[in-house]
């Protein structure tokens, strides 16, 4: 029989369902991320429409970041699968460290497709866009 401390310890070391991909920051490689997005969303039983929305959202987020990427940089994409949701975090080292404007049509489309969207920047001028999509029928 386990006690609460043992259960907490087990929860701390439980593996995360995370897939991380790093590719050259070039639009030529975005098909890899679109394909990974579709495959992982299918694992969570997203509908065909939700999968397509996520594919487009990841593509749009990458396009926003690629336009300001340092030449020769890599783009990193992390997919975290949890219950009825997939969180996708895309980041790249940029020339200016500026987060994407939230007043653009592209940001509006991104929000409509992905649901929850945020961005951030660190001191090294790495800009990150995070998307979180919940499967329909999940109460969100």
**Cα(56)–Cα(77) distance, rounded to whole angstroms?**
15
CATH number of 16-134: 3.30.565.10
pLDDT at 139 over 60: no
pLDDT digits (tens, 9 = 90+) for 7-61: 555 555 555 689 999 999 999 999 999 999 999 999 999 999 999 999 999 999 9
Q: pLDDT tens for residues 62-117?
A: 999 999 999 999 999 999 999 899 999 999 999 999 999 999 998 999 999 998 99
The pLDDT assigned to 52 comes to: 96
CA dist 37 and 58 (Å) reads 8
Length reported for the chain: 140
For residue 126, pLDDT over 70 is answered with yes
In this prediction the pTM is: 0.84
| Band of residue 136 on the pLDDT scale cut at 50, 70, 90 | confident
Stated as kind and residue range, the H or E segment containing 108 is: helix 105-114
């Amino acid at each position: 029989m386990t006690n609460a401390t043992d259960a907490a310890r087990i929860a701390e070391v439980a593996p995360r369902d995370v897939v991380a991909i790093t590719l050259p920051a070039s639009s030529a490689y975005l098909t890899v991320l679109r394909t990974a997005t579709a495959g992982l969303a299918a694992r969570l039983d997203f509908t065909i429409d939700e999968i397509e929305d996520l594919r487009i959202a990841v593509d749009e987020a990458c396009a926003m970041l690629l336009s300001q990427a340092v030449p020769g940089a890599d783009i990193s994409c992390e997919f975290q699968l949890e219950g009825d949701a997939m969180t996708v975090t895309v980041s790249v080292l940029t020339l200016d460290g500026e987060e994407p404007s939230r007043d653009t049509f592209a940001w509006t489309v991104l929000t409509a497709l992905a649901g929850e969207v945020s961005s951030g920047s660190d001191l090294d001028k790495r800009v990150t866009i995070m998307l979180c999509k919940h499967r329909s029928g999940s109460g969100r």
